[in-house]
Amino acid sequence: MPNIRHAMNVKREDDFAKWYQEVITAADMAEESGVRGCMVIKPWGYGIWERIQRLMDDRIKEAGVQNCYFPLFIPLANFEREASHVDGFAKEMAVVTHHRLIADGEGGLIPDPEAKLEEPLVVRPTSETIIGDAMARWTQSWRDLPLMINQWANVVRWEMRTRMFLRTSEFLWQEGHTAHANKEEALDETHRALEMYRACVEEDMALPVIAGEKPENERFPGADETWSIEAMMQDGKALQAGTSHYLGTNFAKAAGIQYQDREGTQQHCHTTSWGTSTRMIGGVIMTHGDDDGLRVPPRIAPYQVVILPMLRDKPEDEATLAYCEEVRAGIAAQFSMGEKVRVLLDKTPGKATAKRWDWVRKGAPVIIEVGPRDMENGKVAAIRRDKMWNMETGKLANSFPERSEFIESIPALLEDIQNNLFAEARDRRDANIKRGVTEWSEVSEFYKSAGKYPGWIEVEWSKPTGDALAKVVEQLKQEKLTIRNVPRGSAPATGKCIFTGDAAVERILIARAY
């Protein structure tokens, strides 16, 4: 192995948590805000979010779901209506109790005791209850169903321990809420949303995921069924990248979401909700990042190609810039993966060599450098970020293609990078799921000996409930493990439950998780 001088100081294998934070700083994605658990998302990080938003939003609308916007504040009483929902969220809510500040007489400000709210308002941790109110107003007849709405919003959950993008007090997300005439239709929608997430996360973000149902103990508060997509990070931990819930008639009963069926009888709706958040960006970092920083999959890269002119403060700069502009225009006219190619000619003052490393850390998929000699030869110097090192020499693996040929190759090149990132992640995940484990001792042994970053294990179980399930959860906890999900479409169970010894009924994935 040649000795490569990487663009970052921390390596994944040395300290994954520190590496993760370093990527966020080095790629200029986000920074601390000074407000507990809240971050400032900077242009490069927000640009990635905007790309995700656009691609996800297109998929949401394709399914006939319409966007709305509901209030940030929810009356406290809304949360008292659905018992398990209360239990799930009560401990982590931000509450607004006053509407005015007054001087405290010592140069500071305090909430005015005179301006105390009759009923406190909760800053939404999720919007089931307030959207449920609207649904109750909007559904009268079976003709109003299904009612399918989505909103892009910020939500607040007062988490004890936060991490940039993965778990912040305030985060950005989309939440879809639907109401249906019966269980079957609501379940169909639950699965349709889950499948939409799988497709978006795998195809757009290049994150391979396993879709499946969450066990009883991991259900969303108030849900009858919770489904998730789970991604494996490079440290072998699992990240829940999206969830879709079948809420039964729980919220419908709490909010009075009813309709008259064809026979004229009042019926409760069956509702669903589903969400994905800025947390997915954390997943992109921990899946595609490397020791040189971030690698952004082309579909969600704000800029897919960055052109760096080699300027020298001399008269020939003008010609170099003109040549770069031609290359830029040529690339901008290309279409890749169904969209116009997003290209930036970075004219920021500074040395091209220094700027190159900035873009490497940000993870622009393709970086081009153009100097006078390239111009003379009608060429460009190109680096593809996903394969930027020559492993023989330890030097940058740049190529010097002819200009017009290169421009025409861009669409295929971006698609290849997209596919390569996905394939790399999928192969790594598949290589790190251990199957065929039938004894609990093997599980503990695996996590003791599998090194610093163990992966997942698939086991069969008897799907215990209640106290028996609690016992299983406790047993897993001893190894810091959790049940991720019951993979959709996996082979039927054939053996015994690894926990109870009873006949197994299904397969589950267990893993350490974020």
The residues binding RNA (CB under 7 A) are 5-7, 17, 21, 25, 31-32, 34-38, 88, 91-92, 125-126, 155, 157, 159-164, 167, 171, 173, 214, 218-221, 226, 228, 240, 243, 275, 277, 279, 310, 312, 314, 349-354, 357, 369, 371-376, 381, 398, 400, 477, 480, 482, 513
Q: Give me the amino acid identity at 505.
A: V
Q: Which of 286, 332, 261 is nearest to 22 (CA)?
A: 286
Rounded CA-CA distance 99/78 in Å is 20
Strands 209-213 and 305-309: unpaired
Q: Which of 424, 434, 306, 299 is nearest to 361 (CA)?
A: 306
Are 94 and 155 in contact by the 8 Å Cβ rule? The answer is no
Question: Which residue, 436 or 451, has its beta carbon nearer to RNA?
Answer: 451
CB of 332 to RNA, least distance (A): 21
CB of 497 to RNA, least distance (A): 23
Question: Which residue, 55 or 286, has its beta carbon nearer to RNA?
Answer: 286
CB of 277 to RNA, least distance (A): 5
Q: Which residues contact 13 (CB under 8 A, 6 or more apart)?
A: 452
Q: Please classify residue 392 by burial: count the beta carbons closer than 10 Å to its beta carbon, then call 0-12 exposed, 13-18 middle and 19+ buried.
A: exposed
How many Å separate Cα 108 from the centre of its chain?
Answer: 40
Are 297 and 257 in contact by the 8 Å Cβ rule? The answer is no
CB of 93 to RNA, least distance (A): 12
CB of 23 to RNA, least distance (A): 12
Question: Which residue, 243 or 272, has its beta carbon nearer to RNA?
Answer: 243
Question: Which residue, 48 or 286, has its beta carbon nearer to RNA?
Answer: 286
Neighbours of 423 (CB within 10 A): 12
Question: Which residue, 149 or 155, has its beta carbon nearer to RNA?
Answer: 155
Question: Which residue, 78 or 126, has its beta carbon nearer to RNA?
Answer: 126
CB of 215 to RNA, least distance (A): 11
Q: Please classify residue 491 by burial: count the beta carbons closer than 10 Å to its beta carbon, then call 0-12 exposed, 13-18 middle and 19+ buried.
A: exposed
Name beta bridge partners: 246: 225, 272
Question: Which residue, 337 or 396, has its beta carbon nearer to RNA?
Answer: 396
Query: What 3-state class would DSSP assign to 461?
Result: strand
CB of 367 to RNA, least distance (A): 11
